[in-house]
Amino acid sequence: MKIACVQINCRFMERERNLRRALQLIAGERADLYVLPELFTSGYLFTSMDEVRAAAEPVPDGPTCQALAEACQRHSCHIVAGLAEQAGPLVFNSSVLFGPTGYLATYRKIHLFDEEKLWFAAGDQPFAVHDIGPAKLGMMICFDWIFPESMRSLALAGADIVCHSANLVLPYCQNAMTTRCLENGVFAVTANRIGSDRRGTKSLHFTGASQITGPRGEVLAQAGKLVEEIRVVAIDPFKARDKWLNSRNNLLQDRRPDSYRLNDRTD
Ligand code: ACM
């Protein structure tokens, strides 16, 4: 199975351009699964709720979803991509999953970062896994990485590959993903963006270096920090089903949830 991270510069509110650029990169390199950045059609640095609403699209009937569905049918592939999802009065920071037969699933970002809390509703559904035949896919978005529970939930639900659409602004994630993948024995595709959003007095720079990470924490591919590019890696997703580190230690079976007291504090 070939998996790909698609790294572009998502220009603010230039939906057609951003979509065209992502689809050009997809058409240029054959893969079975492509992961695109978070909010890839709209850009990230919103300054009002009106802008967020203007960027948001219904799922799966909006124009970006339709273009993704067509691309999956044309290239006989799966695509995970981040976009602002209009859902009644709410807008979610979501990832959508499409395959050759059309729409498959949506993930709504659970752990919102910084000003995202002003614009987006927090995800209202638990982490879930989707069986696409050659592999089981989980989705999470950007800042979800800093909570180990995100990838652990996906691993416990059987994910082989974590599709991680991102707009990273902090310098920690790429290194941290090696540990996230190692501790859960899964593959991850972190598709980040490059460039900056500058809006009035605010600006944010995005760190690129999109990364495909293996189940023993190997960096299988990493994109540059400043260029639009696609990186493709051939993997055996079944390697993620072997959770044994040695003959006595299993990453999931050796957990001791009774000792963790995870729900003691809610403050
Ligand atoms: C982020 O979650 N986009 C930093």
How many angstroms separate the alpha carbon of residue 163 from the centre of ligand 1?
15
Instruction: Note if 116 is an active site residue.
Output: no
Residue with tokens 């051939």: 234
Give dist(CA 170, CA 258) in Å, integer: 34
Residue nearest atom 2 of ligand 1, based on CA coordinates: 143
Residue nearest atom 3 of ligand 1, based on CA coordinates: 167
Kindly report, residue by residue over 113-168, the tens digit of the pLDDT.
999 999 999 999 999 999 999 999 999 999 999 999 999 999 999 999 999 999 99
State which ligand 1 atom lies nearest to the alpha carbon of 38.
3
Q: 224 and 209 in contact (C-beta within 8 Å)?
A: yes
How many angstroms separate the alpha carbon of residue 169 from the centre of ligand 1?
7
Active-site entry in 109, 163, 173, 181: 109
| Substitution site in 109, 118, 143, 206 for ligand 1 pocket (most atoms within 8 Å of beta carbon) | 143
When pLDDT is cut at 50, 70 and 90, the band that residue 242 belongs to is very high
State which ligand 1 atom lies nearest to the alpha carbon of 167.
3
Instruction: Note if 142 is an active site residue.
Output: yes
Residue in 177, 33, 31, 25 with CA at minimum distance from that of residue 99: 33
When pLDDT is cut at 50, 70 and 90, the band that residue 24 belongs to is very high
Residues 6+ apart with CB under 8 A from 3: 31, 32, 33, 35, 161, 187, 189, 212, 232, 233, 235
How many angstroms separate the alpha carbon of residue 134 from the centre of ligand 1?
29
> Span 229-253, mean pLDDT?
98
β pairing state of 102-108 and 90-99: antiparallel
Active-site entry in 142, 163, 173, 181: 142
How many angstroms separate the alpha carbon of residue 194 from the centre of ligand 1?
13
When pLDDT is cut at 50, 70 and 90, the band that residue 267 belongs to is low
How many angstroms separate the alpha carbon of residue 167 from the centre of ligand 1?
5
Asked whether the predicted pLDDT for residue 75 surpasses 90, the reply is yes
Give dist(CA 22, CA 25) in Å, integer: 5
**Displacement of CA 189 from its chain's centroid (Å):** 7
Q: Which residues are near ligand 1 (CB < 6 Å)?
A: 38, 113, 142-143, 167-169
Instruction: Give the count of beta carbons closer than 10 Å to the beta carbon of residue 233.
Output: 17
Kindly report, residue by residue over 91-113, the tens digit of the pLDDT.
999 999 999 999 999 999 999 99
| Average per-residue pLDDT for the chain | 97
Give dist(CA 5, CA 222) in Å, integer: 9
Phi, psi of 143 (to 5 degrees): -60, -15
Instruction: Note if 5 is an active site residue.
Output: no
Instruction: Give the count of beta carbons closer than 10 Å to the beta carbon of residue 182.
Output: 17
